[in-house]
């Protein structure tokens, strides 16, 4: 069966069935990642450029590991290591890379729409690894895959709370699209200054009282508090934020008994979430990292071979 997508720019490009295919292919790579020799030859001869104009640990490393475990050749490029630092435009940098005939470019960029900009101009596949506040589709897919390993395929009747800096979060936007598509209900909880305009039109329930927002939820996704926004005067002092919106044990008393805790990282311990909860048995934070490798292996496989294997 053909995979009828050249690029992955946002979750909206995929339907529920296609998301299911991604998860099923990722299931196979979970097994590969448990082997003593974690390598298969399915992308031998393919080349993947990891073009990260913003810092990244988890996303960049997991795409790199994913490519290498599929036997692809991966090449890393950062803003400081590229001619962007010299004033070259994104278009010219991308066209230069295209002239070297890569099979895919995994792009992280500070500008919303940067991945779409390249996808319209380049022949190779573009996989969006986060563009401004717009989207982070592979993170949403790995979050969904992580919850699927706990809940199975039926997300109906489940409620997920997304907590924190919603306004600046591409993760929140992509997670909302994916979770609602899979049938889950989504709640948001944040200070008013950290909610985007128009949020009331989103398919979510919005609140500002964390204790109320936690009632009966099956999973809580804490978002990184982007400390650089503190300078813009959008937040009270960090101590006040941690007191009002930092997740701790008292909040979990109101959640479902088997509530799961997630965070895309990096974590500001003691601010967004208590250190004890981040490391608690119900935490899926490290499971998300593990899932990220398998899901990104699935994405590279699908977009570089344009086939579905389940």
Annotated binding site: 58-59, 86, 108, 136, 139, 170, 224, 265-266
DSSP code, position 35 = S
The alpha carbon dihedral of 230, 233, 235, 236 has a sign of positive
Cis peptide leading into 266, omega within 30 of 0?
A: yes
Contact 135, 174 (CB under 8 A): yes
Residue with the two structure tokens 């699927």 = 148
- Of the CA atoms within 13 Å of residue 305, those in its CB half-sphere come to 19
Cα separation, 94 vs 154, whole angstroms: 41
Nearest to 131 by CA among 141, 121, 118, 120: 118
Cα separation, 58 vs 258, whole angstroms: 26
C-alpha dist (Å) from residue 252 to 118, 135, 150, 161, 261: 43, 29, 18, 12, 10
List, as residue ranges, the binding site for carbamoyl phosphate.
58-59, 108, 136, 139, 265-266
16-32 and 170-181 are packed helices; what angle lies between their axes, rounded to 10 degrees? 110
List, as residue ranges, the binding site for L-aspartate.
86, 170, 224
Collapsed DSSP state (helix, strand, coil) of residue 153 = coil
């Amino acid at each position: 069966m053909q995979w009828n997508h050249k690029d992955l720019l946002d979750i909206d490009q995929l339907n529920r069935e296609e998301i299911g295919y991604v998860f099923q292919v990722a299931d196979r790579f979970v097994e590969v990642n448990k082997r003593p020799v974690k390598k298969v030859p399915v992308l031998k001869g393919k080349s993947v450029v990891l073009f990260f104009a913003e810092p990244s640990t988890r996303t960049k490393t997991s795409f790199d590991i994913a490519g290498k475990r599929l036997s692809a050749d991966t090449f890393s490029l950062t803003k400081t290591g590229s001619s962007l630092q010299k004033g070259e435009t994104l278009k010219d940098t991308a066209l230069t890379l295209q002239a070297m005939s890569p099979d895919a470019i995994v792009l992280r960029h500070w500008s919303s729409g940067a991945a779409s900009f390249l996808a319209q101009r380049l022949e190779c596949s573009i996989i969006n690894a986060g563009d401004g506040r717009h989207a982070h589709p592979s993170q949403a897919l790995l979050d969904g895959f992580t919850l699927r390993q706990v809940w199975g395929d039926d997300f109906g009747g489940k409620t997920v709370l997304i907590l924190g800096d919603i306004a600046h979060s591409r993760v929140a936007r992509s997670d909302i699209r994916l979770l609602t598509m899979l049938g889950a209900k989504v709640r948001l909880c944040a200070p008013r200054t950290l909610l985007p305009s128009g949020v009331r039109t989103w398919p979510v329930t919005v609140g500002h009282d964390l204790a109320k927002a936690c009632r009966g939820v099956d999973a809580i996704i804490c978002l990184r508090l982007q400390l650089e926004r503190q300078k813009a005067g959008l937040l009270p002092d960090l101590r006040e934020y941690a007191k009002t919106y930092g997740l701790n044990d008292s909040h979990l008393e109101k959640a479902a008994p088997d509530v799961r805790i997630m965070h895309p990282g990096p974590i500001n311990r003691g601010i967004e979430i208590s250190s004890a909860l981040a490391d608690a048995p119900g935490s899926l934070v490290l499971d998300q990292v593990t899932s990220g490798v398998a899901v990104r292996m699935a994405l590279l496989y699908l977009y570089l071979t344009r086939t579905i294997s389940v």
